[in-house]
């Protein structure tokens, strides 16, 4: 990450054959397992942590959606969304994985200002699932002390908002608080001022120009989305793409050896008029 920052600072091309790994949200096993495995192979990791999660004030809304749906015994559920719109979920006919994906996608387009209250008062009761007042053990965060250990071991730890709500759905004040407060929490706990950030869920529609400008004013130098692509030094350093780790090892190999870049180029050429 330091090399990447330096390349942007000094307008230098990135060293060839560079690869960097990031891991988002701050779950306990990112510290307990992932950091150990990567260390074994000589790689440092870059952790983007939801600061309200490490503070144990909340656990990520997108995981709660999966948790609640998986525990529901109901088959057909009439749900009132935060906007007041009605949605019917059919757990008898539809694949649970598809339902989780689809409800998360729907919620990314709703106003997320009161999302956490809506989970407790809207989603859990509609699904007939008891609201967990404590974070369930399998969803627990790493501690701030874990985060300090990671930094001491040479890994990076950076802010990823306070609540993981989709920035583009929030008010100007909420956006500011998500960005500023998460930077402050990392600064207070890890005793350094972070200048790197990752957008929650990170599709282009999940953040907007105001967020980019706010990051810039807050001293953020590099920000990552989740649009698949290679980082190039001539790109906007506040919209750096990332590939998701694929399940298939051959796909992973194609990404790191840049075969994927060749494929993207060919696809791009195919779109050009003859």
Using CB under 5 A as the criterion, which residues of the chain lie in contact with Zn ion when the complex forms?
Answer: 24-25
Cβ nearer to Zn ion, comparing 25 with 146: 25
Q: What is the 3-state secondary structure (H, E, C) of the chain?
A: CHHHHHHHHCCCCCCCCCCCCEEEECEHHHHHHHHHHHHHCCCCCEEEECHHHHCCCCCCHHHHHHHHHHHCCCCEEEEECCCCCEEEEECCCCCHHHHHHHHHHHHHHCCCCCHHHHHHHHHHHHHCCCCCCCCCHHHCECCHHHHHHHHHCCCEEEECCCCCCCHHHCCHHHHHHHHHHHHHHHHHHHCCCCCEEECCCCCHHHCCHHHHHHHHHCCCCEEECCCCCCCCCCCCCCCECCCCCCCCHHHHHHHHCCHHHHHHHHHHHHHCCC
Question: Cβ 99 to Zn ion, closest distance in Å?
Answer: 21
Cβ nearer to Zn ion, comparing 214 with 242: 242
Cβ nearer to Zn ion, comparing 48 with 144: 48
Cβ nearer to Zn ion, comparing 25 with 260: 25
Nearest-CB residue for Zn ion: 24
Question: Cβ 39 to Zn ion, closest distance in Å?
Answer: 22
Question: Cβ 208 to Zn ion, closest distance in Å?
Answer: 17
Cβ nearer to Zn ion, comparing 69 with 198: 198
Cβ nearer to Zn ion, comparing 89 with 186: 186
Question: Cβ 128 to Zn ion, closest distance in Å?
Answer: 28
Question: Cβ 162 to Zn ion, closest distance in Å?
Answer: 12
Question: Cβ 54 to Zn ion, closest distance in Å?
Answer: 13
């Amino acid at each position: 990450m330091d090399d990447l920052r330096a390349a942007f600072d000094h307008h230098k091309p990135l060293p060839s054959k560079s690869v960097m790994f990031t891991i988002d949200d701050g779950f306990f096993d990112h510290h307990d397992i992932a950091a150990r495995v990567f260390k074994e192979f000589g790689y440092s990791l870059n952790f983007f942590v939801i600061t309200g999660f490490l503070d144990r004030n909340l656990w990520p809304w997108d995981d709660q959606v999966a948790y609640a749906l998986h525990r529901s015994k109901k088959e057909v559920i009439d749900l009132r969304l935060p906007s007041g719109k009605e949605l019917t979920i059919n757990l008898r006919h539809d694949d649970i994985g598809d339902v989780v994906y689809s409800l998360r996608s729907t919620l990314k387009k709703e106003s997320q200002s009161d999302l956490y209250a809506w989970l407790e008062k809207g989603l859990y009761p509609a699904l007939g699932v008891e609201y967990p007042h404590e974070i369930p053990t399998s969803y627990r965060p790493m501690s701030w002390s874990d985060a300090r250990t990671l930094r001491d071991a040479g890994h990076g730890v950076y802010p990823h908002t306070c609540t993981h709500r989709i920035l583009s759905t929030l008010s100007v004040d909420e956006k500011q608080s998500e960005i500023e407060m998460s930077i402050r929490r990392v600064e207070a706990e890890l005793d350094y001022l972070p200048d790197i950030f990752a957008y929650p869920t990170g599709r282009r529609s999940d953040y907007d120009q105001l967020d980019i400008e706010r990051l810039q004013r807050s001293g953020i130098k590099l920000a990552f989305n989740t649009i698949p692509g290679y980082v190039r030094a001539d790109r906007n350093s506040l919209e750096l793409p990332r590939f998701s780790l694929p399940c298939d090892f051959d796909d992973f190999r194609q990404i790191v050896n840049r075969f994927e870049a060749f494929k993207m180029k060919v696809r791009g050429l195919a779109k050009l008029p003859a």
